Structure 1
Amino acid sequence: MNWGSGIVLTLVAFATIMISMVVICVKQDDIHLVTQDYYEQEIKYQEQIDRMINANALDIEAMEYDSQLKSILLHLPEGSKGTLHLFRPSDARLDQKINIDILNSNTNTVDLKSLKEGYWRVKLTWIEDEKEFYLEKKINI
């Protein structure tokens, strides 16, 4: 084998590897963005910061996770309305949103036994007396 054949063989091998890498990358279908409207949410982030400040100023722990019962306990006053977003960072197809409407002041429970085991972020957004709040907890089921 001479130098010319070795160089051509090396270039062909390199091109084959690069083409197969591109094909593998294009065929992946499990790539998920954190949210579909990422740019819109980034622009509105100051509102989110205000919601977090409001929630941190509360005297009560509005949301807690009970690992024994695999449930979220909500301690919100009557008339509070909001959304509980169960966010799975590794697979957006498992995400769930649950509407919350507190009709009585007793502790409200959201059962999480049906969720796949692993790491979850639980995001609670609610409105109470025309004021918006946001809490986030990281849990392992």
Structure 2
Amino acid sequence: MKFNWGTGIFLSFVAFIVFILYFVVLSFRDPQSNHDLVTEDYYQQELKYQQDLDAADNLNKTGWQLQVAKTSEGLSVRFPETLAPEKIKGTVSLYRPSNKQLDFKTPIQLSERQLLIPKSRLLDGRWDIRIEWTYEGKPYLYQNKMTY
């Protein structure tokens, strides 16, 4: 068999394709790779998207500022001073993009306008925080990304 330019180019293409296919197969077989959907009930969440937009708009219109801060005890969420703590009802959801087993939701139970999520529940890294609450029957929504 005579080895010329055409044969060399053909063999290099075949080698490149085998190389890429090897890494594709390797990435799909790796147990560390997580191919799950972002949420299990994505369709229901999509249906309530307009409600979320309205609740976020309610928060923007009031001018209230939630103070979400990392402290030595954990994650502190402080509601505005003008709100009565006993009238605030809702949940705080923390979503970990890298591992769905770390996601959790906790009800809002305030002590003097502050909610503390203990440090033991949070690992270092990126978290998406979502605070949904009602105050005097009106819904509000706060969403943010943070690194703990």
Question: TM-score, normalization: structure 2?
Answer: 0.71
Structure 1 stretches lacking a partner, 5+ long: none
Superposition deviation, residue 127 in structure 1: 1.9
Give the structure 2 partner of residue 98 of structure 1.
106
Distance 1:113 1:126 in 2: 23
Distance 2:13 2:144 in 1: 52
Give yes or no for the alignment of 1:37 onto 2:41: yes
Give the structure 1 partner of residue 62 of structure 2.
58
In structure 2, the residue corresponding to 1:30 is in which secondary structure? coil
Give the structure 2 partner of residue 120 of structure 1.
127
* CA RMSD between the two structures: 2.8
1:3-29, CA deviations, whole angstroms, 9 ceiling, x for partnerless residues?
475466445424422431331232243
Of stretches 62-71 and 43-52 in structure 1, the one that deviates more from structure 2 is 62-71
Distance 2:139 2:114 in 1: 19
Question: TM-score, normalization: structure 1?
Answer: 0.74
Distance 2:24 2:95 in 1: 30
Structure 2 stretches lacking a partner, 5+ long: none
CA 1:62/1:9 → structure 2, altered by over 3 Å: closer, same or farther? closer
Mapping for residues 64-83 of structure 1, pairs under 5 Å: 64-75=68-79, 77-83=85-91
Aligned residues: 139
Query: Aligned to 2:138, which of 118, 131, 137?
Result: 131
Of stretches 23-32 and 42-51 in structure 1, the one that deviates more from structure 2 is 23-32
In structure 2, the residue corresponding to 1:25 is in which secondary structure? helix
Distance 1:6 1:125 in 2: 62
